[in-house]
């Protein structure tokens, strides 16, 4: 089954320094029918103005992934970590028993656009930690490139404490990819740019998402030059 949620169905807010869209219930947006998809609890599409951001604040018992789409994001946290990320980089923060962090746009004149994803951890009580990884953006072309996963030992894939994998892809027009959904698992697709055709019948466009269950074979075709994220979830 493929359930589509259109971009315009997302909750939107403009705080001046922050323009944000929530794909799931978050902050002052609450919909009991849109709380999560498996362990995926939050997907926020944020645009942060220059020299602005989220000041120091705490988290517990959550796996938080930030993928910068455009611009730069500066991270600082209570473990002593300071890092700056742009497209081609991923940051994973395990809040665990407790962490304090800030996320700020360090640019003087450019916005930063990022996807912030929260996942429930596989188990609680983990020590807080942070990891920044980098991937080769050329490997995205007509390919599902894993950038976050539970099972990884390399420095191009961030390690997360949940049984999931996040893939990114740049799919050319008329090109196709296939994905096999194992029994009992879920697939989440978020279109960053462009337009896709799923299993030859379901179209999704920029910032739409697809929540897919009980679909063993998934064909993904580019109707335009497209960039998208696919998450394999329990």
Annotated binding site for Fe cation: 57, 59, 101, 103
Q: How far apart are CA 46 and CA 111, in angstroms?
A: 10
Contacts of 72 by beta carbon, 8 Å cutoff, 6+ apart = 84, 85, 86, 105, 106, 107, 110, 112
- DSSP letter (8 states) at residue 201: T
- DSSP letter (8 states) at residue 160: -
Binding-site members are 57, 59, 101, 103
Q: How far apart are CA 58 and CA 204, in angstroms?
A: 35
Q: How far apart are CA 214 and CA 77, in angstroms?
A: 40
């Amino acid at each position: 089954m493929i359930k589509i949620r259109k971009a315009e169905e997302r909750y939107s807010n403009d705080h001046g320094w922050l323009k944000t869209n929530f794909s799931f219930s978050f902050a002052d947006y609450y919909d009991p029918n849109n709380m999560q998809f498996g362990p995926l609890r939050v997907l926020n599409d944020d645009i942060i103005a220059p020299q602005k951001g989220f000041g120091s604040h705490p988290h517990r018992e959550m796996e938080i992934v930030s993928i910068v789409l455009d611009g730069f994001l500066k991270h600082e946290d209570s473990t002593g970590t300071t890092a700056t990320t742009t497209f081609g980089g991923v940051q994973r923060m395990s809040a665990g028993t407790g962490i304090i962090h800030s996320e700020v746009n360090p640019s003087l004149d450019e916005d930063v656009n990022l996807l912030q994803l929260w996942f429930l951890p596989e188990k609680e009580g983990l020590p807080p930690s942070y990891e920044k990884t980098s991937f080769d953006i050329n490997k995205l072309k007509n390919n599902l490139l894993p950038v976050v996963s539970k099972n990884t030992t390399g420095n191009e894939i961030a390690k997360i404490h949940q049984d999931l994998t996040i893939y990114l892809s740049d799919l050319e027009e008329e090109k196709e990819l296939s994905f096999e959904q194992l029994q009992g698992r879920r697939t989440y697709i978020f279109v960053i740019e462009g337009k896709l055709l799923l299993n030859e019948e379901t179209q999704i466009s920029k910032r739409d998402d697809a929540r897919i269950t009980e679909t063993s074979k998934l064909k993904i075709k580019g109707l335009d030059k497209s960039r998208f994220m696919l998450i394999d979830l329990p």
